[in-house]
Structures are given as structure tokens and as C-alpha cells.
Structure 1
Amino acid sequence: MFRDDRHPHSEIEVGRLHKRIARLKALALKYKRAEITQNALLEISNLAAKVNSTEQFYSGIHNTLSKLLPADNFFVAIVNPQTQRIELPFFIDEKDSHPSLIYPDEDMSRTLYSGLTGYVLKTGRPLLCDEIKFNQLVADKQIMSRGTACHQWLGVPIFNGSETAGVLVVQSYREAISYGEIEVELMIFISQHIAGVFERIQHQQQLEQAIEHRTKELSVAYDKLKQEVFERRRAERLQKSLFEIANLSNTRLKVDDFYAELHRVISHLLPANNCYIALIDESGRHIDFPFYVSQLSATPPQKRPLSDGLTEYILKNKRPMLLDSKDIRTLIEANELYAEAPFLNKTETIHQWIGVPLFIQGIVRGALTIYSFSMSQNYQAKDVELLTFVSQHIAAAIERKLSAESLRRSYEELEDKVAHRTQALAMLNQDLEKEIAQRCKVEQQLVHDASHDTLTGLPNRAMFMERLNQAIKHVRRHGLDRFALLFIDLDRFKLINDTLGHLQGDRFLIETAKRLQQCIRDNDTLGRIGGDEFVILLDSINEVEDAKEVAERVLTSLSRPYEIGDQSFTSGASIGIAFSGKQKTDTSESLLRDADAAMYQAKSKGKGCYIIFDEQSHTQLIKDVELEIELRQAIAEDKLAIQYFPIMDLTNENVIAIEPTLYWLHPQLGKIKQAQLNNIAEHCNLTKELDLYLLEQLNKEYPQLQASPLADTGLHLTIASQHLKHKHAVRKLKNRLKQCLFKPENVWLFFDEKEFVLDTENHINAFDLLKKLNMNLALCAYGTAHSALSSLTFLPLRGLKLDSSYVSHLEHEQHQRLLKAHNLSAQALELTLFVEGVSSDIQRQQLLNLGVKEGQGPALGRAFDINGLDKKKFLQEICA
């Protein structure tokens, strides 16, 4: 360097000058950075006033922050004040995807809370974290490692008052981008301003939501008010119209003017550009049209005989109707309209048609009709209701008008001739006599209705009990006389109602009443005391055989097929019989109770029979009820146990599966097996509970079964079809089967074939749900219901278990052929065939000769309990 000797201190001054310049540059850079920071905060503040959502606000923050420091990897975490869960309203990262995508099986809030973000939220202090600091926090179990490792991570808390409301985070993956104290202070400074701006945005959003909610409430209130005003105006118009109709009948208007005024009143209520009134004349054979107005024709129809037109259709059905063009065409095609008089058909251009019958003096004497030709003019059900209501007042007005006209003509005739006055008086007397006779008839009908069933016309419960009381009093006075009481309950009435409908059910009851009436004498009493319950009082019988003969006649008569709704339907009945004179304290109620109890015994014995009541049977019935109660208690207290029956390979007698069944060690009755338990459960509606109880007990015995040689054998479960009646029961069964500890592929679920035939649709729907459990579905007792073989092709079945009757009749060649056919069919459908009831080695050999390889029965192994079973002698104990 050139040295100037003239200025010996120049180098020192130059050094000082360079240092001053450096300080000035640093100061200028600091001021420049402060200016940029101030501008950034101003932009954030302005941003809060412009954006419409927090998403736009956070995006703007990111753009502004990028001007101050490297923020390519930036996100905002906010604590939801309502749910206290961490949310990510804004997230951008060059390496990691959104946490919900990285950890789809974890709760995002918990994931964030376990990492650095949660650490800042918990401590409420800024965190500048490098790799060393991160590893230290992980080692101290302060955080968990989340996401891709980064070079530096900087997060500062966002405060809402004194609470930590969120975290503002930037991070870098490259060593070239590093953060220091300046960036920490800058992030803290920005987060303080963000907290205030964020609070304003939240307040603005809440205000907008409140305004929107209040606007909706006002709109709903306005609509309700408008609807109320409309209904009030409509009610006022209706009231005014009814008042006008009432006044019209008292005016002296001519008939034509009277009907024209009626039309004017109707037009105020609904469109009636096409309208007519039809009345039946006094002979009841002709129909007249006193009023008619139409857009297409000015000529009214002429008086004509009654036929099969639209008007007559309303008169015949006696109820209001709204028909469109399609309905009218359907009625014409069905020959219900214009079959006798096609020339009357003028309905081609009609779009909609309303007809309302006019009841005058309680009889349909005419019809009020309006109709439209234009598709733009549509009537609705409320219009029919309105016109029906108005028609009652119109009918009354017409009646009064007709009466007034009739009275006026009568007065004119009375003034002309005295003879005519006498004749009119006679006619009035006749009318009076008719009215008196009508009233007497009505009174008689009321008395009859009070004591008879309205559907069948038979004596009802009140009248029957009265006659039964009279019979009891008679027997007490005449000790040698005797009577019998038959209580009849129809066996399939509910099924008829459910399948054919209540109308056909009523026809079935009427036909049943006729058949029962033919089975008794004139002096006997037949009554209906309930829906499908009939009673017969056999008066003055000589012996018990008389009542039995009547009961057999009733069973025979009711077993004949019914022709109902184009279908042939077979029913039946269960009959309970009680006799008088058993006890001196007999009452009508006690006799009816005894007959009812005997009827229930008949039902329990298979229906279609009769039972004579006796005290011993009644005592047994009480015991049955007590046994049902004890069974419920036994289930609740886990007093039922399981025994297992082996299913074996007939070729080598190896155990391939076991079938668990329940039994109950009753303290008085001893061991009650599964079959008897099923009978008891069926009476008290516990069938499903028994199956669920069995599944629960199997899980409890699972460890013992796994420890035995039966660990990998199949498990045959017979499931009651009551589980498949409705979707809730199916879902409950499915959930319980999911809890089964056994391997699904080893479990076989058997359903009764007869129940499948009776309720095929529910079984198919349930099979579709149960097959998802990957368990084996099968039918048991196969061959008893003779289901169509084709039905097996579309069912998800894996096996069939033949009824034991096939094995018990193997000595017959025909049964051998049938069993062989079943085996070939099962092989063709790839189904496993099992047999039940193998009771001898000869039968086992016969089954092998027929190709059957799997079976169970006394000859193949006895039942065993898993508890206390000697595992070393397992097979010997089973086959002993």
C-alpha cells in the first residue's frame, strides 16, 4: 500500500472510518428491517379488515412473514375453545404432508400435542429447537418424534388473554437457512399482533353467525305469520261463504238463480269454471242436472236414467273423489265407467275431476262436481276436503230449498182443491208413520248393536256372558240339567291378517262364524268375544260325548280350505271345553277361565285339537308357568350347563366336530335336556335368550376346549329362526357371534329347514348378513319341509344335516334311494352332508355304502361334559 508520509495518522483514521461505515450500515439494516417489520404488521392489521375467513387470513400472514424470514415451511396450530382440540387451519411444508395423512390411524390433536407443537402449548414459551435440542427433549420424554427430521424448528405461542390459544411455527430443512434471536423476537412480536387480530376475526365471524341465525329466525317467523294470515283469511272466506249458503235457502230466488248463486259462492273458495249439480229424482231411477256450467259447452245435460257414468260412480261409492285423466281411463278400461252407456263419455278433455256426494236426509240424493280442462289448473286433497265440508251445507240448503218449493206447491194445490188438501194431509200422515217406523227401527238396531258383534252379527261378550249367567242360574234350579262351554281360538288368524290384509281377515272371520253356526243347534248360543276368539254355549246336553261331537264337527268344518282373495287358505282351531256342575260356586267368569285354560293346553299340544278342562290339568298348567319362571331365574343365575355330542367321520370314527347342547339340573325334576328346554322357552318367548346364553357359556369353556384334543374340531350350533324375524334380532345375534372365541372357519350355524320354508325372505336377508362372519351356514332337519332343491343354489350354504327319520327307516329301500339322492345333490352343490340318529353299527355301514361320511348318534359316541374330562382317555370315554 502506498504510504503518505505527509499524513502519518491517515491509516488510523481510515480504519475508524471503515468501522463507522460498518456501524452505519448495520444501523441502516436494522432500521430497514424495523421498517419492513412495521410494514408487515400493518399489512397483517389491514389483512384482518379485508379477509372473509380465517383461511385467507393465515395465508396472508404466511405471505407477509415470508418477506421477513425464510418461511417455506410454515403452519399455524389453534386450540378450538369449544372442543379444546388442536386444529391446523393453515399448513405448508416442502417435505411432510398434512399430519392427518401421515398418521391416518391417530387422532390429529393427540399427534400434535405429543410433539414440539404440544410442547410449546404446554410451556407457553417460545422454542428454537435444533437437532441436539430435539434429541434431548425426546430422550427426556418431553415429546415424541413426529414428521421428518429438520435442521431448525421455531415455534412461538399465540396468547388469548392469559391462555395459550395456538402456536406459530416455521422450520428449515437446510443448514443454509438458520434462525436466531432476531427471528425469535420477530416471531414473538408478530404472534402478539396475530393474537389481537385473530380475536377480532373470531368476534367478526361470531357476529356474522349471530346475524345469520337471527335472520333465519325472523324469516321462519315471517313465514309462519304469513301462513297464519292466509289461514285466517281462508277461514273468513269459508265462514262468509257458509253464511251466504245458509241465507240462500231462505230467499225467494228462483231455482235457476238459486243454483247460480251457489256456484258464485263456490267460485270464491276455489276455481269452479266447470261445475254442475246432479240430483236423483223422487223415483230414484233418473238423474237431473238443475245446474250446469262449462267452458266447452253451454247446453246442460238432459234428464236421463241412472247408468254407469262418472256421476253414478260417485253416487255408488258414497264418498268424495279426486280423479285425474289417468284414473278415469283406468276405470273405463276396467269397465267400471261407461261400459253400459259409452255415448255418455265426454271425459277425453278433462284434466282433473272432483265429485262429492250430496247427503239429503241421510241418503245420497245427488252430487256436486267441479273439473278442469287445463293442466295449469290442478286440484289437491285439501280442495276435496274443503268442497266436502261446503257440500254438507249446500246439501242442507238444497234440502231446505226443495222443501220450500215442495211446500209452496203444496199450498197452491191446497188452495185449488180441498181434495188435494186432504190428500196432502194423508201424505203427511204417511211420512209421519214412516218416520216413527224409522225411529223404531233405529232404536231396535241400537239395541241389537249394543249386544252383538258388528262384524259377524253374533252375540258379543256382554250378551254371551248374560246368557251364560242365565244358564248357570237354570242349572242351579234344575240340578239334573247340564251345559257345556266351548272356547275356540283360530290358529292362523294373525298370519291371514299379516299376509292378506285386514279386509280379507274380516271376510275370514265372517265365513268362520257361518261355519260355526252350522255346527250347533238352534237352542245353542254362538258368540264372538275377541279378535279370533269364539265361544259356544251348548244348552241342555245329555253327556260329555255331545260336547266332544260338536268340537269334532267344529274342527272338521274349520279345517276345510277357505277361498279368500282369490287364494285358497287353510286354517284350524284349538278348543277348550268346560262343563257346568263341577263346583257349586261356578260363575260365568270362572267357567270362561276354565275353558280358556283348556284351550291353551290344546294349543300347547300342537293345535288343531280340543281339551276338556279338569282340575289336574289346571294344576299342571300352573306348574308349567312356575317352571317358566324358574327357567328365567336359572338363566339369570347361570344354572344351565353344557354337554357336547360328537360328530364323527363314519369311515374311521374320528371326531370331526362337536355339538354343544344345554341341560338343567332341576332340584325336583332332575336333568332337563335341550329339547325340553326348547319347549319351555318357546312358550315363554325365551328361545333367543337360550341361544345367546349358550354362546356366552361356550366362551367361558373355550380355555378347557382348547386344552383338550378338541381344540381344532368343528363346532355345530343349532340357531333358532326367531333371531331372523327382524333386523334388530339379526344384528344382536351377529354381534354375539363376533364375540365368539372359536375360529370362524370351524363354526357351523344350523337353521331349521321348516322355518326357512315358512319365512324364506327373512332367512335370505339374514344369511346375507351372517355370511360376512366367514362362518359356515347350513340347514338342519333337512327333508322335513320338502323345500325346493333350486332354493339351495342361491343361498350361501356350506352344508345340510338330514333329519333323523332318514336313518331310522334305512331298512326301507325307498328311504335308501331318497338318502342317496340327497347325498348326490349335496355333492353336486358342493355341500357337506351330515346325518343324525345313527344308533347302530349296521346303520353306520349302510350309510357308508350309500356314500354318506359324516354323522352323529348313540352308536357314534355319547354326550360328555368338558369339565372333569380325562384328557388321556378322551376318545375312550366318548366312544364308551
Structure 2
Amino acid sequence: MDKDNNCPNLPKNIQLLQRRISRLKRLAAKYKRAEIIQNTLLEISNIATKATSLDDFYKGVHLHLQQLIPADNFFIASQDPVTGMISLPFFADEKDSHPTELYPDEEISEILSRGITGYVLRKGEPFLCSNEGFDQLIEQGEIEGLGSPCHQWLGVPIKSKGTVNGVLVVQSYNEQINYGDLELELMGFICHHISGVMERLLHNEQLEIAIEERTRELSFAYNSLKAEVHERVKAEKLQKSLFQITEISSLNIQQRDFYTRIHQVISQLIPADNCFISLIEKNNTLFFPFYVSQMAKKYPESRLMKDGLTEYIIKHKKPKLFSADDIALLVKQREIYTQSPELNKTQKMHQWIGIPLFINGEVVGALTIYSLNDQQIYQRRDLDLLTFVSQHIANAIERKNAAESLKRSHELLEEKVNTRTQALAQVNINLQAEVNQRRKIEAQLVHDAQHDGLTGLPNRNYLMERLSQALKHVRRHGLDQFALLFIDLDRFKVINDTFGHLEGDRFLIETAKRLKSCIRDNDTIARMGGDEFIILLDSIHGTTDAIEVCERILHQLSQPFILANQEFKSGASIGVAFSNNNKYDTSESILRNADRAMYQAKSKGKGCYVIFDSQIGYQSEQQSDLDKQFKLAIKNQHIAIHYRPIFDLATNTIIAIEPQASWHTEQHGSWDHKKLNQLAFNNQLSLIFEDYIFKSLTKDYQQLKQKYGVATRLYMTISSQHVNHKHALRGLKNTLKTSVIDLSKLTIFFNENSLVKDIENHLNAFEIIEQLGAKIGIDNYGTGYSSLSSLSYLPLSTIKLDTEISKHMLSETQLKLVQAYRLSVEALDIQIVATGIDTLQQLNQFTALGYQIGQGRAIEKKLQTVSPLSA
């Protein structure tokens, strides 16, 4: 036809007609091709809608795809979105075998990921590649060459919600077969259907799994509920039987009827056509109060304990379920019926259950049930059930026996009642007298529990109760007011130390009388302990009422006391707190406020009163915080230790060093050694604080020897609390014994004032310290407490003057007194150290008075000593 169209000799109208025919043929072929594509795609859509598995869908896709494009070499790769593993659910190739056959030693996912399939999965875009394109990707390192070379390779990614789940691939080995945009578009359409099918099938699979799981859960729940209902029915049946057993035991019926009813209850739970109960009597015989059997109608008679099956259960004290073979084996093993073969009636028995009956932990008999044929088969659960019921049967038997015993003894009891009634009448008379006496004693005990044994005043418990009542009263009546006075006596410790505790008690009794004379009848005075008293002034009109009472008290307590035929003057410090209708006030807070005010009064010089206000509370809180911070500073080693030298005034050399503590806080300022000692004493931390200093001295000892020389002595002042009781003294002894310090170079100083108050304990401690090799010294000497004669029998090596002495050498008399200290001490061969030498004038004065050893800032400045070694 085309040849004819090119013939120029034909008429033009014929040529035009031939061209139209050719165009119509091409259009017809194109429409035929479009119809085939449309029908094929419709078939693929139908397959996607109806497919029940991906395998069927893949096969249908391959079959219809071949009608559109050459697809003899066709495969589908799928990638798990969770694990990333690649698989080949469909594979067809005319040259190559399946990759698992080509590479049997490798995983299919690893193989595909290295090839062009993995490349498309990573890129997520359609890819059409020729053999040259393969080589270029291999050279670039993007893929590895796998399988036979092909002419063209077309791969289109399968996506679901933007995620690549697989690749659809066709390839050709024939150079005559080429792929273009049409094939790419067709492959994209098929990929869209594959993605939809995958989502639908995955959804169906998940739905089926969920349905199956829910069905399994419902089935399990049903079975559990069914089992629970069954167990509950059994439990209710068992509970009913136990109630019946309990009810039977309480009935007033004959013994035979009692056991018959027990048997009826057992029969409701387990077949018991053959059943008997045996009990042990006092003479070691078996008694059968109940017996029912298909083999014999007659009750067995009582008999001595032998070696039957019943005795076997009683002996082993355990429930048993025996078959006929088990019984025969026991007979063969001579466990039963050896001594009494005439008792063996077990030949016809199929199964036998024996349960021991326990009363108060002792076996008193047995419950037995047996079957004669295999129509009645007992299980392990029957044994357990009967064992449980047997406990209640044993209790019922015990109650029944107890009831009968009680009935027998009732008559005897009635006879004794009349006799005892007359005796009880007399006992009641005596008992009433005893009750009256006990009430008096209890009243006295209550009084003693609420009052002080020495002064007869109410004690702390009574006061706190009265204070709580007063607080409730002022909250109900807002215009009323009360005051609380906290009284602390002055110089009470001096009385005990000077006149003894007996005179101290007389002093407290007299003080209580004077305080009573200062208050009204409706006020309450209590002794808190020691020398502390509290007065509750109830229903006062104002502050002036409390002030008047305070002034009367101070006047009364300032009057002389006669103790041990001597006149003695005391005094008191009083803190006053008022109720103020504050809803947050408590008994403890008001008492604490009065206590704080009292301490403020003591700090003002004693013999006065102070009324609590917010400033006092703030100062108390500051003091509490200071105490807390001080304890933490010791624990965390935040207190610095440095060393002050003691000089030979003639040679200007250091002969001794003494540890000194210092502490700086942002909130409470700086604290020197003297103030820290007082703070430790107030918080009862003297032993701990001094142990901290001694440990620092031990730690620095080697450096101190290198800096000051081996011959330099160590001075350390410690509290007399170390010698007040044996535990503290033992601690001091152990500390010295375990120390690395050369004790022959150590001098331990005690305060002169404390020494005078307790000579005996100090002498004991001096002896122990000397035995360990250390020296003894007295600190703060010259305060006027010890006499020169007392120094003669004390094992002292060194005495340190009180630092205040250097500040008062202003007259000739004072200078002579300081010189007398030196002469008297040196006469006893004791060294004396002048302390507190802070000015050049003081240094010259001590030197002129013959002092050879001294300590102070003036000496350090003069000699320009190096800074002390820090701890």
C-alpha cells in the first residue's frame, strides 16, 4: 500500500484516498492497542479487588502483564517496613535461577540490597536502565553486578503512604525488546494496585489476628468463669456441709444419732456407702462409735490397738488413699496385718481412704471410707476434701464430748456453787475493803504522776495540761488573757557544789514556798526540774499584772536563805510570755517563748525579767541556726586549725606550739578559739570539738616537727568533761595511746576553775596521763580559785597565766602579785607561761618581772615569725 502511495503516475484523488486508508488503519491499530490495554488493566483491577492472597495476585498480574509488554523476565521484591528485610514473593526469569540458588550461602535480603533492586528501594523512584547504565552504576559503587547481563531493566517502586514497600521489575535480554514511557506508566499503575492489595490484605490479616485473639480471650474467660462457677458451687456445697456439722455438734441428741447425721453430711460430698469412725480410748483400745458397711451389718467391738489399716493411719498421722494393689503391697511388706491377720477384711475392697482425726494437735482416731467396686472411684481431690472436712468433724466430736462432759460436771458444779456462794460473800466484803484501799493508792499515784516529789508542786505534765486548757479558754473568750513566767534560779549549782545536795533540796523547797506566796489561788506554779519553775497566771487584766508578780518574785528570792547555818543569797531570771489570740499558738510554742525570754534575762546579768517579743524570737532562731551550723562545720571539717607559738623570751626561740581553732561564716561572722570553746560547751560538744582539734594536730604532726624542730613541745588545753566520768576518761586514754604523737613532747592543760571543783577525778586522770608519758599543765591560772598549797601535791609541769592578768598590770601592787605567781610556781619546779602579751609594754613588764616564757601578738610581731601552719 505504501508502495502504491509513492507512485506519482496515479491520479491525485486515488493517491488521496490511499493516504486516508493508511491513516485509518493506523488509527484502528492504535485503538485496538488501547482497547487491549484498557481490558488488561481492568482485569488487573478485578484481580486486585478479588485477590485473597498476594501470591494469587502476583500470578494474575504476571499473566495479564504479558499481554501488554514483554514480561517473561518479571519479579516482585517486597521490603518489611519494620525490619527492612527484602524478600522475593514472585520471580520469573528465562536465564537466571532464583537468587537463593545462585547464592545459596547468603541471605536473600543481603543479596537484593547489594543489587539494582536495593538501589531502587533506597532511591524510591522509577528506574529504567540499559546494560551500559548497569556498568556505570557498578563503576560508581552504587550496586554490585548480580546475575546475567540484560539489554534493559525497568523497576518501579511500590509505595504505601509515602513509604517504599517493594519494587516491580521487568527486564529484557533481547535487543529487539525495548521499554519506554508507556511501559513505565503501566508499571506505575500496577504498583498502585499492588500497594492497595498489600494494605487491604495486611488489614484483613491484622483483623483476622485481632478476631482470633479476641475469640481466644473470650474462650479463656468463658472457661475461667465456668471453672469459677463450678468451684463456687463446690465451695457453697462444702460451706453448707461445714455449717451442718457445726449445727449437729450443738444439738442435744444421742451419740448414735450424732454420728449418723455426720455420715449423712459426708455422703453429700463424696460417696460413703462404706464408712466408719474409730476413736482411741484411754486404755489404748479402738472404739467404733459409727460403722456402716455393705459387707457387715454388725458394729465391730472395741479392741486393742494392733497393726490394722486403721492403726497404720493413726501411726503415720497422714491421710492416705490406697488401691487394692497398695493394700496388698503393704501386707506383703509386713506393714499391716502381721500380728492380726484375722482383722484383714480388705480382699474385696477396690479403694480405701483413711483420714486421721486431730484434737488439740493429737491423733484421737480415724475416719475411714472405702469402695468395693470400680463404680465408685476416689480421686486425690476427694482425699483433700475429706481431709479438710475431717478437721471440722474432729472439732464437732470434741465439742460433743465437751458438752457431755460439761453436762456430767454441771450437777457437781451446782453442789459446789452453794458452798462457794457463802465463801464469796465473805470474800466480797474483804474485796471491797481492798478496792477502797486500791482507789486510794491509785489516787495517790495519779497525784504523784502530776506533782514533783521534792516540792509537792505540779510537774511538767500537769502544767502542760493546765496550759492547754488556758489556751482553749482564751480562744473561746477573745478578751481574756494569761501569762506564763519561766523562772530560772541563780547560783543553784554553787549551792550543790558548796553545801551539798541535801541543802540544795532545802533551798528548792524554801524557794517553792516563796513563789507560792507571790501568786493567787487560781494561778498554777510547777517545777520543771532542776532549778526551773513555771507560773501560769490565769485571767490577768494586762501586762502590769504579770510585771507586779515578777517584781514580787525577784524581791522574795533576793532575800537571804539560811543554808547549813550560813546566810546565802540567790536570785532568779524570769522570762514572760503572753497569750495573744494567735491561732497558731500552742502550749509548746508559748512555753518556748517564755524560755527564750528567760535566757535573754540571764544574758542581761540575771536578777531581772524580760517580756518575750519578736526580736527575742529572732535572736533565739539565730542562736539555733548558729548551733546547727557549728555542728555541721565540725562534721564537714570546715573549722580551720592553726598553731600559735610559745617563745623563750631570753633567746627569742619557739619552745612550744599550741593549736588554735577559727571559723568564719557569712551569716554569723568570725569566731576565734575562745568563743568556739564556749559555743562547744553550750552545745555539749566540748569532747567532740577537742577530738576534732586533736585529730588535726595528729595529721599535721610530721609537718610541725619539720618546721619547728623535734624538741618543740605541743600544748593543748582540754575540757574537764574528759575526767567527769569513766567513759570519757577511757576515750581520752585510747586517743592518746593510739596517737602517732610523741607523748613525751605533749603537755595537756586543764582549766584551774574546773580543777578546784573536782580535785579527785582530776587526780585520777593526771595519773593515767602521766603513765602514758604526757605532761600535765594548768590553764587560766590566777583567777583566784586555787591556793598555792594545792599546787604542791599536783603532778604539774607547766602553768599558763590567765590572759586577763596581762591587761591589768597597772599598779605596783598588781605587778608584785604577778611576780609572786612566778616565784611561788618556780619554787615548786614548775614552768610558768605569761599569756596575752599583745603590747610591747606588756612584754617589757613580764621580762622585767623575770618571766622567761611567753605567748602573744607582741612577741610574734617583734620577732616577725612566719605565719602559723594551717590545719
Measured against the shorter chain, the TM-score band is 0.3 to 0.5
The structure number with the bigger radius of gyration is 2
TM-score by length of 1: 0.44
TM-score by length of 2: 0.44
